[in-house]
Amino acid sequence: MTAATFCVLALSLQQSPAQTPATWKAVDSVLGRTGTLQGETYRVGFPRNDLHVTVGAVTVRAALALGSWVAFKQTPDSQAMLMGDLVLLESEVGPVLDALQQGGIEQTAVHNHLLGETPHVVYVHIIGRGRPAALATTVRAALARTRTPAATVPAAPPSFNLDTAQIAQIIGAHGRVTGGVYQIGVPRAAPVTVDSVEVSPAMGVATAINIQPTSAGNAVTTGDFVMIASEVNPVLRALRANGIAVTALHSHMLTESPRLLFMHFWGDGDALKLARGLRAALDQMNIKRN
C-alpha cells in the first residue's frame, strides 16, 4: 500500500457517512414522530400544545416559548450526543428528572425563561451520550411522565399578519413562520464545543428570537441571547434602552467552551420597534452576519 493510498483510507475511516433523515429512523420509531435534519444535527420537537399559558393578556403559543426539543449529533465513536430543553409544569419536574437519571441522561440547568406566566413553566436542559435509540428511549420515558401530546396531524396554522420581510431586514437575519410565530436563529461567529464535540446552532447555541403577532402591527417577542461574559451587560443595556424586559440570565450547559450565558427577554408592542431593539442587542455580539 502506498503512502497516498494509506492517507486516503485513513481519512475515509475518520469521516462519518453522509446523513439523511433515514439515518435517524430508529429515533423516529422510538419517539413516535419525525424530526428534521439540520446539517449534522437531527432535531425533534415536542410542542406543549396541551398547555394554556398566559403572560398578562397574551396567550403564549407553543412556538413562542413552549416547545420542548431534543437534538442528536453523531460522534466519532459511532454513537451520539444528545442535547435538549424540556418544557414542564412544576408538578412534572421531579418525575421527569428521575426518569432521565434512570436512563443516564443528565441535567445541566433547571430554571425559568419567562416571568409572570400562568401557570408557571419550568425549563429543564439535558445532555446525554450513547446509542441514539437508547437516548430516545429515555426521552420517551421522561415525556411519558408529562402531558406532552403525542404527534398528531398539524392543525391549520393560525393567521399571521406581520411584515416578516421588514422585520428580517431590521434584525439582519431571516426566519420562518411556524405555528403562528416568526422564528429567527442567529448563530455565533465562533464555534462552540461541549466535551470536545463541536455543537451546531440547532443544538441550542444560537440566539433565538420568536415574534408572535397580537394585533395590527403589534407583537410580543421572547427567546434568548447566547453570549460570552463580556457581551452580557452591553446586551442587557441595549434591551432595556429599547423597552424590552430581561426575564432571566443563566447557563444552559456545564462544560461548553467558550463559557456561554443565556439571557431571556420579553417585549410587547409595535413589532418594528421591537425588531429595532433586538437588532441593537445583536449588534453588541460576535454573531454571523448575513
pLDDT digits (tens, 9 = 90+) for 29-56: 999 999 999 999 999 999 999 999 999 9
pLDDT in tens, 178-229: 999 999 999 999 999 999 999 999 999 999 999 999 998 999 999 999 999 9
- Among residues 175, 165, 266, the alpha carbon closest in space to that of 219 is found at 266
Average pLDDT, the chain: 92
Helix, strand, coil percentages, rounded to 5, for the chain: 30, 35, 35
Q: What's the sign of the alpha-carbon dihedral 211, 214, 218, 220? A: negative
Residue pair 189/73 in contact by the 8 Å Cβ criterion: no
pTM of the model: 0.92
